[in-house]
Structure 1
Amino acid sequence: MGLRPTLAAALVVLGGWFGAPSANALIPYVYLPTEEELKGSSIGIGRTAAQLLQLGQAKDAARLAALAVRLNPNDERFWSILAEAQLRNNNLEDASRSLARAKQLNPEKAGLWFAEAAIALRAERPDNAVPLITRGLQLDPDNAPAYFDLGNARIMQGELPLALKSFERATALKPEFWEALNNQALVLFEMGQRQEAVRRWRRVLKLENNAEPMLALAAALHQRGEQSEAIQLASTALAKNPNYVLPLHQAEQLWGVRIREATAQLLSEPQLTNSVERAQANATWKKNQ
């Protein structure tokens, strides 16, 4: 980003065009805001950009955030807002550059490291994400969502024991963190510890009646021959979130090969034909939407 344009240069050019004013001419007065006033304006603009993000207006937020960093390029908050807006507009490279600038300004802010790691994960670059999260955790060691992201990165790397350790650290810090508990079960199922996976999915459903753990539990139960409960859970899960009928959506949610195969076997049951067809018709998933 370049620095803000200055009116002084424009005034010099105008003077060259029109010549020196006569003694009786009215000299126009152009107010030039001070640097401090421009910085003050940037705060209001930055706040508005953040509010637009909360309202889901990412394109307008990006334009305002870009203006804020031009007015005050040395405040990492504005670069962070700009990065978030760029991320929501799927401009991953621009978002990475904005976060890198924010980190230069405030390298001790853990959230900036975590945010850059989140972009790396979205771009499916777990090898880049892991050291970023690790550095952030050195600054903020009790951040449960960061351990969750670290666990996801480890799954993407195929490091399942390390993934499980990270997810368990997340729930140790935040016991109601059902997403981390759900991912523990996903990892355990892939590691062959299916009974423990079932136990943890049941715990998840006590915390949150969510389609993902519901369908995964149904698939695990189906493999154990517990057909009645499995069919009922699967039907309810597909009605709650039809996207989980799609193997590609399951994979994007970091479901491993074993749980996807178990789910495919479950969904081939004749009792689920209507539920599966309805879910396929209603699914709205698009990769990296």
Structure 2
Amino acid sequence: MPKRNWLLSLLALTGFWTLTTPVMGQSLLPYTPQFNLEQLEQWGLELAEDAVQLVHFKQYELALSRAKLATQLAPTQHQPWFVLGTLYIQKQEVDQAIEVLQKASSIAPEEAGIRFTLGNAYFQQGNYQAAVTELKQGLVFKPHVITALFDLGNSYLKLRKTTKAIKIYERAIVQEKSFWPAINNIGLIKYEQGDAKTAIENWRSASIIDPAQAEPRLALAVVLYAQGKVEEGLRLGESALELDSRYGELQFLKDNLWGTKLLEDAKIFLAVPKIKSLLKNLDKTSL
């Protein structure tokens, strides 16, 4: 919340509290309020900070209203635009987010965080080449940010530049050996390339690193089932779907970058009566 009653202060500053009803016959003198632009800007930056704090408490609408006002009070500072852009992403208003983040980037072109967030927004929009451009530029300033590397790898994967995608994922793994999402996605690529052995190794590794993650476990289950290892595949698949039943939807798998071959195998696996029954029961319990 604001550290001071900024609205009352702003009204006082602009002269609203000095206006009184004139006595009959009194002539009104023209009045121009004197703005302290530096103070207004400071209030804007504080409002941006307040918006961030509200996000922590999931008060997104309140955060959004403060961020919007912050951009009006401090329009030449990148922080309010950055905060507003991230809030638009949270609301899945990607086009507005991109417009605002472009403004932030024009003010502070060397701020890597803005570039990374803009790249993520372009990815969500489906403009993968623009995502690559922004993410690469951000990595020039901060080359070891794992999430940015992962987003860049995903963008290359969407552009079907799989060799570049693997190299970027491997850079992320160098930064953090336990970064399972990159290990998992290399498995996705390898399977589409016909290298099921390496894909299985990757998914087993990802599952060991974080046993609470459904995706690598389900990918492993689907492939093992397709290879005729029915019991192990079903056991792993059931446990994966119990962790996160969203992976029982083909569109969700596609959104998570599963390739054509793996999706075909997943379609067969998810149609198995035992798995269909499990998903139906999981749907009921989630209601």
Same fold by TM-score, threshold 0.5 exceeded? yes
Number of equivalences: 272
Match of 1:180 in 2: 182
Match of 1:112 in 2: 114
> CA separation of 1:193/1:169 partners in 2, compared to 1, >3 Å: closer, same or farther?
same
Q: How much does 1:142 deviate?
A: 1.6
> CA separation of 1:159/1:281 partners in 2, compared to 1, >3 Å: closer, same or farther?
farther
Query: TM-score w.r.t. structure 1 length?
Result: 0.85
Q: How much does 1:98 deviate?
A: 1.3
CA distance in 1, matches of 2:106, 2:159: 28
Match of 1:38 in 2: 40
> CA separation of 1:30/1:104 partners in 2, compared to 1, >3 Å: closer, same or farther?
closer
Match of 2:99 in 1: 97
- Which of 167, 191, 203 is residue 165 of structure 1 equivalent to? 167
> CA separation of 1:103/1:117 partners in 2, compared to 1, >3 Å: closer, same or farther?
same
> CA separation of 1:283/1:194 partners in 2, compared to 1, >3 Å: closer, same or farther?
farther
> CA separation of 1:173/1:73 partners in 2, compared to 1, >3 Å: closer, same or farther?
same
**1:19 equivalent in alignment to 2:55:** no
**1:201 equivalent in alignment to 2:183:** no
Q: How does 1:206-225 map to 2 (within 5 A)?
A: 206-209=208-211, 210-225=213-228
Q: How much does 1:221 deviate?
A: 1.1
Q: How much does 1:126 deviate?
A: 0.6
Q: How much does 1:200 deviate?
A: 0.9
Q: How much does 1:62 deviate?
A: 1.3
Unaligned runs of 5+ in 1: 22-28, 285-289
CA-atom RMSD, angstroms?
Answer: 2.8
Match of 1:236 in 2: 239
Match of 2:272 in 1: 269
Match of 1:63 in 2: 65
Contact 1:178 1:204 in 2 (8 A): yes
Q: How much does 1:211 deviate?
A: 0.9
Query: What whole-Å deviation, never above 9, does each CA across 1:75-134 have from its counterpart, x for those lacking one?
Result: 111111011112212222221121111111111111111111100111111121111111
Question: Counterpart of 1:41 in 2: which secondary structure?
Answer: helix
Match of 2:129 in 1: 127
- Which of 71, 74, 78 is residue 80 of structure 2 equivalent to? 78
Match of 2:262 in 1: 259
Q: How much does 1:44 deviate?
A: 2.3
Match of 2:6 in 1: none
CA distance in 1, matches of 2:157, 2:282: 27
CA distance in 1, matches of 2:26, 2:200: 83
Q: How much does 1:11 deviate?
A: 8.5
